[in-house]
Chains A and B, each alone.
Chain A
Amino acid sequence: MADKNMSFLVIDDFPTMRRIVRSLLKELGFTNVEEAEDGQDALNKMRAGNFEFVVSDWNMPNLDGLEMLKEMREDDALKDLPVLMVTAEAKKENIIAAAQAGANGYVVKPFTAATLEEKLNKIFDKLGK
């Protein structure tokens, strides 16, 4: 069972989607959730805060999710932070690129509450959280 106080950062340029993901996390018992609107905003928040889990979109202005992920994996402080990609990008090369860049999971939009829960739990299990 994952710690319900775990701190999440939800990154998406669409406020509606951030609200949906936040509500789903709340439904699962996670209430410690902050939001960022693009990759750059997220990196700033990650470097300033102490997050334990990242749920990120891919296609965003300024810095997209993949570039953000690559920067995280280069950064000693962020390289082990789990990242679940939640994106509408459905090309095989996208999924492969995300996995190679070090994403811990990949959920394709539109997704269901059950899918999000399953992927989160799979990552928790792997990381022994």
Chain B
Amino acid sequence: MSPNDQAESAEPSDEASDELIHRIGKLTRMLRENMRELGLDKEVEKAAEAIPDARDRLHYVGAMTEQAAERALNAVDRAQPVQDKLSERAQSLDTRWAQWFAEPQELEDARALVRDTRSYLGEVPDMTSDTGKELLEIMMAQDFQDLTGQVIKKMMDVIREIEQQLVQVLIDSMPEADARETMQRKAEDQWESENNRRNEELLNGPQVKDDEPETVSDQDQVDDLLDDLGF
């Protein structure tokens, strides 16, 4: 269809739109065949396959950070009333003692004050041990930083891989052979420094999905496995 044809009829005729569809179809087929010939379809496929994995990992990071924040906030919510009680009771006893020193009362009143003070002192270690437990809980909640950090590092590998696959597609589809070779060399030099890979079969980091095979889901399963093996 030439620009003239378009200018003549603002509404394309049925015939013209049929032809357009036909041409787009032909182009798409050509592109697909060329890609297959060059092996590019495989590269694009590999890049696309990495995306669901990255999505699982992002989901894991989101869930872990939320869980950690909740754990810490819950611990604070539990510790605060204990702290308040500790402080209120000390203040009230302090006020009573101040009054007694200002104006010493009968022995009976003083006895009650001493009794209440002793009972408070007896309870303090229990209460501080409760808040101590909550502080420990807040600390343990920070383990998400290590776990999500490992998953994010893995994701950066995945993203780098996608980038490399896509750059490869661009290079392979460059029309000029000289330019293509130069680009290929440049890209490979860069990738070599990036892909400083070790044997990563046993380095998977945290489990991001619940249903992974051949993977333990808690410490009990670790202990059982080691027991079974006689370790």
List the interface of chain A (C-beta within 8 A of B): 12, 14, 16-17, 19-20, 23, 27, 58-59, 64, 66, 88-97, 99, 106-113, 115
Q: Could you say which of B147, B149, B215, B226 contacts A110, with CB atoms under 8 Å apart?
A: B147
List of A residues within 8 angstroms of B222 by Cβ: 90, 95, 106-108
List the interface of chain B (C-beta within 8 A of A): 136, 139-140, 142-147, 149-150, 198, 202-207, 214-219, 222, 225-226, 229, 231
Chain A min CB distance to B56 (Å): 15
Using A64-B198, A92-B216 as known contacts, list a sample of 19 further A-B pairs with CB atoms less than 8 Å apart, ordered by residue number in A: A14-B145, A14-B146, A16-B143, A58-B202, A59-B150, A64-B203, A66-B202, A89-B202, A89-B205, A90-B206, A90-B215, A91-B215, A93-B214, A99-B226, A108-B216, A108-B222, A110-B143, A110-B147, A113-B140
Q: How far is the CA of A94 from the CA of B203 in the complex (A)?
A: 9
Q: How far is the CA of A88 from the CA of B214 in the complex (A)?
A: 14
List of B residues within 8 angstroms of A27 by Cβ: 136
A109 near B140 with CB under 8 A, answer no
A20 near B143 with CB under 8 A, answer yes
Chain B min CB distance to A52 (Å): 21
B136 near A59 with CB under 8 A, answer no
Q: Could you say which of B136, B146, B204 contacts A109, with CB atoms under 8 Å apart?
A: B146
Q: List 7 A-B contacts (CB under 8 A).
A: A14-B150, A16-B145, A58-B203, A91-B215, A92-B215, A106-B226, A115-B219
Chain A min CB distance to B163 (Å): 21
B202 near A12 with CB under 8 A, answer no
Q: How far is the CA of A95 from the CA of B224 in the complex (A)?
A: 11
Chain A min CB distance to B142 (Å): 6
Contact (A95, B143) CB under 8 Å given A59-B150, A64-B203, A113-B136: no
Q: How far is the CA of A97 from the CA of B145 in the complex (A)?
A: 26
The list of the 10 closest CB pairs from A to B, nearest first, reads: A88-B206, A14-B146, A17-B146, A16-B145, A99-B231, A90-B207, A59-B203, A90-B215, A90-B216, A110-B143
Residue on B nearest A57 in the bound complex, by CB: B146
Q: How far is the CA of A112 from the CA of B139 in the complex (A)?
A: 11
